[in-house]
Amino acid sequence: MRKKEPIILIGGGGHCISCIDIIEQGGEFEILGILDLPEKVGQKILGYTIIGTDNELKSFLPECSNFLITIGQIDSYKLREKKLNEVIEAGGNLPVIISPLAYVSKHAEIAEGTIIMHKALVNAGAKIGKACIINTKALIEHEAEIGDFSHVSTCSIANGQVQVGKGCFIGSNTVIGNNTSVTDNVVIAAGSQVLKNIKLPGIYIGNPLRKIR
């Protein structure tokens, strides 16, 4: 039996709980602990201890070189990007985490620090950037591209040859039509339909889709 590699999680909120479940079921990594705010040190999440703060990241190297950013993302990706850069600068590693209940084509490309969650589908020719969240039952179709630090939420669909930019949030049950592009820094509310290119950053909602901010 292959020995599990140690991993430390960065962020102890609700997204962390889902990530723990995926890591446990995957069987490839052993969670050594979680990094969070100083006032939370010593607390436990699903049995795993918050062992330190984000500022102490370097002190856990080289004992553990693997880290996963388990901070959730809706409005802004900036904190996730900051933590990724801190891990890289410290010499740490950001493995791709894939649920054993997901399907990822061998012809897809997935960059460092991304997590593919339960029942997600990533089909041939898809490209997913750094530190993305492809959430439960999301579908990334053939040749679709998801930019760095984007979160495709539960049951959302990015159809064939869709292009989603950097730092986007695609809300639950949103459908993005074939060959449609979404620029950087876009938030799309749950249940929306995106049938035309989105060229301006902002918050969008509905069917027909409209910009509200």
Domain ranges of the chain: 5-90, 97-203
Give the pLDDT confidence score for residue 146 in this predicted structure: 98
Q: For residue 156, how many other CB atoms are within 10 A of its CB? A: 27
Can you tell me whether residue 36 is helix, strand or coil? Answer: strand
Q: What fold, for 5-90?
A: Rossmann fold (3.40.50)
pLDDT < 50 stretches in the chain? none
Q: What is the pLDDT of residues 95-138, one digit of tens each?
A: 999 999 999 999 999 999 999 999 999 999 999 999 999 999 99
Q: What is the pLDDT of residues 158-169, one digit of tens each?
A: 999 999 999 999
Measured CA distances, 187 to 1, 11, 38, 150 (Å): 44, 22, 30, 10
DSSP 190: T
Q: What is the pLDDT of residues 124-134, one digit of tens each?
A: 999 999 999 99
CA gap 21, 160 in Å, rounded:
30
CATH number of 97-203: 2.160.10.10
CA gap 118, 151 in Å, rounded:
14
